[in-house]
Structure 1
Amino acid sequence: MSTFKDFKLKPYILQALADIRFIQPTPVQEKLIPLIKAGRSVVGQSQTGSGKTHAFLIPIFNQLQEENHEVQAVITAPSRELAEQIYQAAEQIAKFSPEPLNIQHYVGGTDKQRQIEKLHHHQPQIVIGTPGRILDLIKSKALKSYTATTFVVDEADMTLDMGFLNEVDKIAATFPANLQMLVFSATIPQKLEPFLRKYMNSPVIEEIPTETIISPTISNYLVSTQGKDKNQLIYQLAKNSNPYLALIFANTKRRVDEIADYLTKQGLKVAKISGGLTPRDRKKTMRQIQKLDFQYVVATDLAARGIDIAGISHVINTELPADQEFFIHRVGRTGRNGLSGIAITLYEPGQEKEITELEKLGIKFEPKRLKDGQLIDGYDRNRRAKREKTKQALDTKMVGLVKKQKKQHKPGYKKRIKSAIAKDEWFKRRVKQREDMRQQKRKNRDANR
C-alpha cells in the first residue's frame, strides 16, 4: 500500500501529515491527489468520512507559490461549520510551512466591513468560506478572486440542496479560463450536471466504490418502537449506551426542542443544534461540544451535512429522514477514521416500506430490541413474509389438497386424519413384514437344496 511519501510532496506537508498521524492515504486520496497534482479538473465522488478534505488540500498546498501574495485557490463550503473545519485543517498544514502563508475564511455572521478593510491591504493566498460571503466580498471589489487558478466546490450536493448553487455559479464566472476546478460530493444529483458541464472541460470523474454504503466499522441497529413512548425509548437508548458522544437526530426543529428538553429533565447533559440558533449561539454550542461539555447532541439534518464533530461514538435516528441520502450522512457521523461506531435507528411498524428502500441501497440492518434497558438481538421484521414464501414453495398439489381437506371436514377431522395415517402406516409395515418372511423362506429353501 502506498504512503504520502510516494506523492513527492513538499517536506513541510509531510511533516504536517505526520503530526496528525496520517501515514497512508485513503482510497479517495490515493486516486485523486496525483490527478490534482497533474493539473486535472476532477469530480470526486466518495462516501462521507472518506478523507475528501485532505484530498484537495494536500495538492493545493503542494502547488502553492509561497512568495506570491495573490489569491491562488478558492474553496467554498455550504455551511459555516464545514468552512471552519476546512480552515482548521488548512491552518494545521500551513503552520509547518517555512514561509508564512495567508489563509482566510469568510462566512456569514462575521464582520464583513472589517474583512473588506483588511482585503484592501492584503490578499489571502487561500480563501475558504461560504458562497454567499465570498460572493459579497468579490462584488465589493475587495477580494480579487480573478487571480485564482484553483476552485474547489466541497459538498456540491449539499450546496445544491441548500440553494447556494447560484452564488457558486457567479463566483466561478470570475475566474480565468484556465481554471482547475475540483468538485467533491457524496452524490452527484442530476440537477448539478449543467453546472459541471458549464465550467468543467473533460474533467476526470472518479467514483470511489465501497463494499458497503455505510462504513464497515459501524454497527447499524434497527429498533421498532412497537407503540412504546418514544421519548422514554430514546432516553433509555441514550443513557444505557453510555456513549463518548452521541448525536441524536430528529427531522424538525420542534422535535429537536422536545427531545432535548425531555432528556435534560432526565438529568442528561444535552446540547441542541438546529436552524433556530443564532450564529453566536451556534458557535458557542460548537465550542462546548468540542470541549465535551455535553455527552449528547440533539440535531436536525443541518448537523448531518455540515458539522463534523470529532469523537462521535453513537448516532441515534429518532425517526427516518424524508430523504434517503440524509440517512447515509447521519450514520456517517460515527465510525470515522477507522474507529468503531454504533448507529441506532427507530422505526414504526408502518414504516417497513421505507426500511426496505434503504436496504435496496445496500444498507444492512441488525434487528435489535430493548429488554431490561439493554439492546439484545431482535426479530427479523420479514419473518412472516419469509414463512409465507416457504409455504408458497410447497408442492402446489399438496397445498390444494390441504385446502380441500380444510373445507370438507367438520371439527374433529384432524384426529381422524391422524388415525387414518397411523392405520395406513401399520398396513405398510405388515406388508413389509410378510415380504421379508417370504424372502427368508426362499433363502432357507435354497440353502437346503
Structure 2
Amino acid sequence: MLFKEFNFSAFIQEALDELGFQEPTAVQEKLIPVIRSGVDLVGESQTGSGKTHTFLLPIFEKLNPDISAVQAVITVPSRELAYQILQAAKQIAVHSQSDIRIAHYVGGTDKLRQLEKLKSSQPHIVIGTPGRIYDLLQSGSLVIHKTQTFVVDEADMTLDMGFLDTVDKIAAALPKEVQILVFSATIPQKLQPFLKKYLANPVIEKIASESVIADSIDNWLLSTKGREKNTQILEMTKALSPYLAIIFVNTKERAEDLHAYLTSNGVKAAKLHGGVVPRERRRIMNQVKKLDFDYIVATDLAARGIDIEGVSHVINDAIPQDLSFFIHRVGRTGRNGLPGIAITLYQPDDDSDIRELEKMGIRFVPKILKDGHFQNTYDRDRRLHRKPAYQPLDTEMIGLIKKKKKKIKPGYKKKIQWQANEKRRKERRAAARSQERSKRKAKRQSF
C-alpha cells in the first residue's frame, strides 16, 4: 500500500513526499482508516512503529483553520517527546496555505508568556505535558470545549510517571463527542479504569511485531566481572566507530558520572536526563542533529521520550530494572531496516534477567573486548552443558557413603570404609576379567 491511497489533502501529501514517506508502516496502514472513521481507539504497538504520524495525519486532515479554537489536544509524558511531536506537526503545517497554529506547552517554559499569548488567540493544536496543559486550562486561559480529537500518547509511560490523574482532569473538561485516541507500547491493567471512563466502545488494536526487536539488530553481551566499568566503556569507545551511539544508564547520578569520565578522556559525548534544563536539552538535541557528538549518555527517559535518527549503536551500562525498557533502549537502533548493534554489560547477578529477555526472543552473542577488538567468547552457560568427568555412583555405593557421613562409632566407620573399598576392588577385578575375556575371544576369532 502507498500513502497516496489514503487520499489526504494535497498539503499533507506534500509533507509526506518531503519526508520521503511512500509506504505506511503496519500501524499506520491499519489504524489511520480507523481514526478517520471517527471512533475511539486504543492502539498498542512497539516503540518506533510510526505512531506519531498515525494520529497527526488524520488530525490535520480533519482540522479547519478558519475556526479559531483548539481542535486537537495531544498529551505526552515527557518534554522531549512533546518537542518531537511538535517538530513533526510543524513539518506538516508549513505546507498548508492556511495558517495552522500549533502550541507547545511543557514544564520549564515561560508560562506567563503562554498565558499572554492565549488572550489574543487559541491554538488549533495543543501538544504538551499533562501538568502544564492542565495549569493553563485551570487558569481559564486555554479553552478546549470545542476539541474534536484528544490523544493520549505513551499511555503506559504516562501511568508509570504518575501523570494519569492529570490526564483524567483534562479529559473531564473535553466535550462528550470528542474522539479519544490512546497509544501505548503496552496496556497495563491500571490503565483500564481510565479507558472505561472516557472511551465509548473503542476499537482496540494490537499491532504485533514479528519479533520484539528488529532482526537487523545484533545483541552482544559483555561481562563486567572483575572490571572497572568506566574503564571498560572507555575501551569500547576506542574500539567502536559509531555514526551515533547512545549509552543508557539507570540513574541521573550515573549519567553525570559516566559523562564526566568520558569527556575528561576526550570522548565527544552529550548527556540527556531529567535533570537537564529544557534550554540545555534543546541545545544538545540541535548539536546531536549536527553530529557534534559520537555518544549520548542517557537515562530511560530518552528511550521513550525522543527519536534520534541514525543511531548505529546502543550500549546498556546496566540492565534496566523494568525489562520492558530494554526493548525500548535497543529499539533506538536498527531502524528502517538498517543494521544496528546493541551491547549490554552484565554481571553474574544479572543472569536471571538475561534469561527472561531470552524468553522474550532476544538472542545474545557473548563477546569479549581483547586487544582493541570485539571477539566471540564462550557461552556463559558452559558449565551447565559440561559433561561430568566421573561416572555416577550406584545406589548401593550412595547408601554406604551416606552411612559414613552419619555420627556413628569409629569401629563401624572402618567397617563401612572397608565395605566401600572392597566393592570398588570387586568392580575393578570384574572389569579387568571382562576385558581379558574380550581379548581372548578376539584372538580366537582371528584364527
Q: TM-score, normalised by structure 1?
A: 0.89
In 1, distance between residues paired with 2:303 and 2:230? 21
The CA deviation at 1:147 is: 0.5
Indicate the residue corresponding to 1:96 in structure 2: 95
Measured after TM superposition, the shift of residue 129 of structure 1 is 0.9
What is the CA-CA distance between 1:320 and the residue it aligns to? 1.1
Bigger mean CA offset, 88-97 vs 374-383: 374-383
Q: Which amino acid counterpart does residue 308 of structure 1 have in structure 2?
A: D
2:2 paired with 1:3: yes
1:423 positional shift: 3.0
CA drift of 1:117 comes to 1.7
**Mean Cα displacement is larger for which, 77-86 or 226-235?**
226-235
Aligned residue for 1:120, secondary structure, equals helix
Opposite residue 427 of structure 1, the aligned amino acid is R
1:416 Cα shift? 7.8
Q: Between the two proteins, what is the percent identity of the paired residues?
A: 55
Q: Distance in 2 between matches of 1:421 and 1:225?
A: 52
| Alpha-carbon displacement from aligned partner over 1:161-216 (angstroms, at most 9, x marks no partner) | 11111111111011111111111111111111111111112111111111211111
Mapped pair 1:430 → 2:429: no
Give the Cα–Cα distance (whole angstroms) in 1 for the partners of residues 216 and 396 of structure 2.
49
Q: Is the alpha carbon distance of 1:414 and 1:256 closer, same or farther for their aligned partners in structure 2, counting shifts above 3 Å?
A: farther
Are 1:36 and 1:59, in contact at CA under 8 Å, matched by a contact in 2?
Answer: yes
Amino acid at match of 1:331: V
Comparing 255-264 and 43-52, the one that deviates more: 255-264
Aligned residue in 1 for 2:184:
185
2:78 is matched with 79
TM alignment of 1:264-275, pairs within 5 A: 264-275=263-274
Which consecutive unaligned segments of at least 5 residues does structure 1 have? 435-449
For residues 303 and 22 of structure 1, what CA distance do their matches in structure 2 show?
25
Shift in Å at residue 386 of structure 1?
2.9
**Could you tell me how far apart the structure 2 residues matched to 1:236 and 1:337 are?**
29
Shift of 1:383: 2.2
Stretch of structure 1 that moved more, 102-111 or 358-367: 358-367
Rounded to whole Å, the distance in 2 between the matches of 1:339 and 1:275 is 29
CA distance in 1, matches of 2:20, 2:427: 72
- State the one-letter code of the partner of 2:257: E
Q: 1:110 to 1:350 in 2, by over 3 A?
A: closer
The equivalent of 1:369 in structure 2 is 368
2:25 corresponds to which residue? 26
Distance 1:252 1:38, change over 3 A: same
Task: List per-residue Cα deviations over 1:228-249 (Å, max 9, x = no partner).
Answer: 1211111111221111111111
- For these two proteins, the number of residue pairs brought into alignment is 427
RMSD: 2.6
Q: Alpha-carbon deviation of 1:291?
A: 2.0
* 1:215 is aligned to 2:228: no
1:121-142 alpha-carbon deviations (Å, 9 max, x no partner)? 1111111111111111111111
Distance 1:420 1:215, change over 3 A: farther
Deviation at 1:85, TM superposition (A): 0.5
Does 2:308 correspond to 1:335?
no
Please, what TM-score do these two structures have when normalized by structure 2?
A: 0.89
Residue 421 of structure 1, CA deviation: 6.4
Q: Distance in 1 between matches of 2:43 and 2:223?
A: 37
- SS of 1:147's equivalent in the other structure is coil
Displacement, 1:15? 1.4
1:344 counterpart residue number: 343
- Deviations along 1:52-109, whole A, 9 cap, x unmatched? 1011111111112232222111101111110010010011111112322111211111
Q: Structure 2 regions of 5+ residues with no counterpart?
A: 402-419
2:167 aligned with 1:168, yes or no? yes
Q: What SS does the corresponding residue of 2:336 show, helix, strand or coil?
A: coil
